Amino acid sequence: MYARHAANAYAQVGVQTGAMSASPHRLIVMLFDGARSAISRAKFQMAEGNIAAKGDSLSKAIDIIENGLRAVLDHEAGGEVAGNLERLYEYMTRRLMLANLRNDVALLDEVDSLLQNLASAWAQIEDGGANMASPQEN
């Protein structure tokens, strides 16, 4: 028990240190990772029948989406893309709430997949598109 508490405290310090030294781009990556991690924990807790912990994990995922990803959208610079992302984040939040009410793993998988796709696209922005396939020559 003590070892697990100590490991959690150590991990929390690592996350805080990483966040303080991270670039704005890296912070968004950390938000995607955190939301996906919370959803993963919720799936495990759902399977274990731990309703309270599942609710806490889904609340954390919703908080990251709403107060992290959605809150940092720049509608002036982002224009239509920012508006589309805002609607997508709202959709994800609704799906997570419904998953919590229904104990529906498929809804959790849906949101996790959406987050994975966004995280992948975001990673390509930082790489300057280096991971994107080059066009085929005819």
pTM, full prediction:
0.77
- Residues 70, 82: contact at Cβ < 8 Å? no
The predicted pLDDT at position 25 comes to: 80
Neighbours of 43 (CB within 10 A): 17
Model confidence at 99, in pLDDT bands (50, 70, 90)? very high
Question: For the segment 34-81, what is each residue's pLDDT rounded down to a tens digit?
Answer: 999 999 999 999 999 999 999 999 999 999 999 999 998 989 998 999
Strand runs (DSSP E) across the chain, as ranges?
Answer: none
Walk me through the domains of the chain, giving residue ranges and CATH numbers: 30-126 (1.20.120.340)
Instruction: Please tell me which residue, 77 or 10, carries the higher pLDDT value.
Output: 77
